[in-house]
Amino acid sequence: MALLVLKFGGTSVADVDRIRNAASHVKREVDAGHACAVVVSAMAGHTNQLVALVEQAWGFKERRKQNGAEVSAQYDGSEYDAVVSSGEQVTSGLLALVLQSLGMRARSWQGWQIPLKTDSAHRAARITGVAVDELKARMLEGEVAVVAGFQGIAPGNRISTLGRGGSDTSAVALAAALSADRCDIYTDVDGVYTTDPRVVPKAHRLDKISYEEMLEMASQGAKVLQTRSVELAMQKGVRVLVRSSFEPADLGGKGTDAAEGLGTLVCHEDEIVEQNVVSGIAYARDEAKVTLLKIADKPGVAAQVFCPLAEANINVDMIVQNVSDDGRHTDLTFTVQSADLDRALEVLRKAKESIGYLDLRGSTDIAKVSAIGVGMRSHAGVAAQMFSALAEKGINIEAISTSEIKISVLIDAAYAELAVRTLHSLFGLDSR
Ligand code: ASP
Ligand code: MG
């Protein structure tokens, strides 16, 4: 017998038929003798509708016209949470009912009932503890625990939510607290791919990927798992299997096992025997480039640029500063999320006096393409290979950033797909 956490995302519980389908996956595991907890998201699109209702109630649009985006967003986070957490309450009850209708013992659990405790950072709360004693005892007696994802209880007994996509994190936290054997994330794709299959038809599903690689892939735009859930899984050593809920539930009487070639197991790198140098190519088009021309080349200028951005809560990703020609002036280029570009430009225009620059430019016609792999730690020359291959295709690199297991380049958006295809085959990832 194993202890399993199964998590179903919004598209996997989008209507009652889909909930029935999810239930048949649960039934397979229960029939195989496993003790199961199930974490559910809200029905696809439901959370967006709830967010829209909150904004309507607050008069968000009118306020934005009057006060700008930042001021208008300042509604009461705990009431936002009270509203948007309700989507998961619905699906947890419905799934428990469907499981009961199939003859299983099942009980729904809201965050406060477990309790899954969080801090008081409403709308993006962090989990501080999960009390699983009662839940676990019942699971071991054969009752399926159906847990509403995304929600918890904050100090002061107020409902909290964990940030968009947060039910992945609920599932991993629950798996850690239960010391579960595995956390199965059921979604609408059958795993994690070497790159986006819509861009590279030769992309293939990875059987296994390390936590660190998955973190890079997730933050690079491969939106399979909430980043925080991967961090938590890595920290607690939870093995996470990403798989599709749309594959047949019937596995000939057997429970699931990653070894059967289903899905992608996110695990510690030691568990991965055959390791490529590069495991995947990620790309993101949602970044924008900001360039400051002719700023003074002296101590303190970078701080004068980035402090006001930090104060405005704008995240900066890649940064390049040119070598100065005359020893007095230089150019500075960096990237921000596209959604933050207008605000970033506004902040920098306001700070023009204190920074002192000749001109300010912003552009969204860029893409970031990254090669990711833990094998890079022990292999030299990956960057050289990558840059040569891009040069051969005539692709100009505007900025570079690296970590121990990742090389990212900033390029003209028009070349994004060519760059992804080129690197995918360069590093031997095209499926044969
Ligand atoms: N329902 C929430 C959302 O849409 C949480 C989740 O699905 O993970 O963000
Ligand atoms: Mg999700």
pLDDT of res. 101: 98
Residue with CA closest to ligand 1 atom 8: 165
Of 217, 246, 271, the residue that ends a domain is 271
Same domain membership, residue 289 and residue 250: no
Task: Please report the pLDDT score of residue 69 as a whole number.
Answer: 61
Query: 83 and 118: one domain?
Result: yes
Predicted pLDDT of residue 224: 85
Q: Which of 210, 240, 271 is the last residue of a domain?
A: 271
**Residue with CA nearest ligand 1 atom 9:** 164
Q: Is 270 helix (H, G, I), strand (E, B) or coil?
A: helix
Pocket test for ligand 1, best of 8, 13, 46, 47 (most atoms within 8 A of CB): 47
Find out whether the beta carbon of 47 lies less than 6 Å from any atom of ligand 1: yes
Low-confidence ranges of the chain (pLDDT < 50): 259
**CA 7–ligand 2 middle distance (angstroms):** 10
CA-wise closest residue to 4 among 272, 159, 183, 126: 183
Do 218 and 345 sit in the same domain of this protein?
no
291 & 264 share domain: no
Looking up residue 113, the CATH number of its domain turns out to be 3.40.1160.10
Q: Residues 347, 307: contact at Cβ < 8 Å?
A: no
Does 215 share its domain with 287?
A: no
Q: What is residue 142's DSSP assignment?
A: T
Is there a single domain that holds both residue 293 and residue 152? no
| Same domain (yes/no): 239, 351 | no
**What's the burial of 306, exposed, middle or buried (CB within 10 Å: 0-12/13-18/19+)?**
middle
Q: How far is the CA of 66 from the centre of ligand 2 (A)?
A: 34
Name the closest ligand to CA 44: 1
- Shared-domain flag, residues 17 and 47: yes
| Alpha carbon of 309 to ligand 1 centroid (Å) | 29
Please give the sequence-ordered ranges of beta strands (E in DSSP) within 238-302, or none if there are none: 240-244, 264-267, 280-284, 287-296
Structural domain boundaries, residue 321: 275-432
CATH assignment of the domain containing 379 = 3.30.2130.10
Query: Pairing between strand 116-118 and 3-8?
Result: unpaired
The string of pLDDT tens digits covering residues 307-324 is 999 999 999 999 998 887
Where do we find the tokens 């989507």?
87
| Residue 180 and residue 130 in contact, taking contact as beta carbons nearer than 8 Å | no
pLDDT digits (tens, 9 = 90+) for 263-307: 999 999 999 987 789 999 999 999 999 999 999 988 899 999 999
Q: What is the CA radius of gyration of the chain?
A: 24
192 and 69 in a common domain: yes
Residue partners of 113: CB distance under 8 A and separation at least 6: none
* Distance from the alpha carbon of residue 295 to the mean position of ligand 2, in angstroms: 42
Q: How many domains does the chain have?
A: 2
Secondary structure element (H or E) that encloses residue 129, with its range: strand 127-130
User: pLDDT at position 248, please?
Assistant: 84
Distance 236 CA to ligand 2 centre (A): 20
Which numbered atom of ligand 1 lies nearest the CA of 164?
A: 9
Query: Which atom from ligand 1 is nearest to the alpha carbon of 87?
Result: 1
- Do 281 and 165 share a structural domain? no
Q: How far is the CA of 421 from the centre of ligand 2 (A)?
A: 26
**Is there an atom of ligand 1 within 6 Å of 164 CB?**
yes
The 10s digit of each residue's pLDDT in 331-348 is 999 999 999 999 999 999
The residue among 244, 271, 298 that closes a domain is: 271
pLDDT digits (tens, 9 = 90+) for 155-195: 999 999 999 999 999 999 999 999 999 999 999 999 999 99
Q: Is the CB of 151 under 6 A from ligand 1?
A: no
Same domain, 147 and 256: yes
| Predicted structure pTM score | 0.89
Both 30 and 178 in one domain: the answer is yes
In this structure, which residues have their CB less than 5 angstroms from ion ligand 2? 9, 165
The answer for residues whose C-beta is within 8 angstroms of residue 342's C-beta and 6 or more apart is none
For ligand 1, whether the C-beta of 21 sits within 6 Å is no
* Ligand with minimal distance to 189 CA: 2
Closest atom of ligand 1 to 9 CA is 7
User: Which ligand is closest to the CA of 40, given by its number?
Assistant: 1
The verdict on the CB of residue 41 being under 6 Å from ligand 1 is yes
